[in-house]
Amino acid sequence: MELLNRVALITGASSGIGEVIAKNFLDEGAFVFGCGLEEHANIDHKNFHYKKANICDEMNCKELVSKCSDVFGGMDILVNCAGVTGIGTIDDTSVSEFRRQFEINVFGLYTLTQASLPLLRESKNATIVNIVSELGVKCIPNRVAYCPSKAAVAMLTKCLAVDCGPSIRVNGILPGLTETPMTQMRYLQADDPEKERQKTRDRYVLKRMCTPQDVANGAVFLASDKASFITGDMLAVCGGGQFITC
């Protein structure tokens, strides 16, 4: 087991990629403290604890970290997975929507990371894994808020690696477009959902969509000792999409 007896705090653990990461960490022997905006998570495991929380609220973040310490005695791993996406150009994306995506994707991550540092610095195996996006390193049309917000997360990951080393490793994952409850609606609303999915697959060199399990595999690796000499890097889990322009 790659993460035996490690304590991980995982945001967005109540659905989508975060939920699958949490389940994989549990399979690898970790104790997982999950959080999200939902009342409950779909995980029933003796080593899993969940708390509803808003990571954009500083007091909520401090309470999460304190509760994680109370329940599991510390923290070794922070996985910043919570985030939002949105479709739109500058002509049809309001200032408030632009701000909302930055507030959650960037400021929420920053707020919880800052609150977690005292616990992480007590660990001998401390690491942070940020779920970024392939769109943090390239742009596509109609993502005027999302692409810049994820680019900020990519740069923030590198800054954190410098600031928090050598005691804490910090890395990011660049997932391709993954069909999760958050993104599924765009396919369900299409005139031909399967045709729309195929358009997504065709964006990638490997001609398939990213799955939550693909991202979870990368998160397990980066959080494990197998990645012990890796920090400030981006693991592209996007089938070659990081260098293909649309």
State both tokens at 222: 């980066």
CA 58 → CA 2, 97, 178, 241, distances in Å?
A: 32, 21, 29, 35
Within 10 angstroms of residue 22's Cβ, the number of other Cβ atoms is 30
Instruction: State yes or no: is 146 an active-site residue.
Output: yes
What's the helix, strand, coil split of the chain in %, to 5?
45, 15, 40
State both tokens at 150: 């994820």
**Long-range contacts of 34-40, Cβ-Cβ distance < 8 Å, separation of 24 or more:** 34/9, 34/10, 35/9, 35/10, 35/11, 35/64, 35/82, 36/11, 36/12, 36/82, 38/14, 40/14
- Burial class (CB within 10 angstroms; exposed 0-12, middle 13-18, buried 19+) of 133: buried
Q: What angle is formed at CA 49 by the lines to CA 224 and CA 229, rounded to 5 degrees?
A: 15
Catalytic residue among 50, 110, 146, 204: 146
Distance, in Å, from the CA atom of 188 to the CA atom of 224, rounded to the nearest integer, reads: 37
Q: Which sequence positions are flagged as catalytic?
A: 146
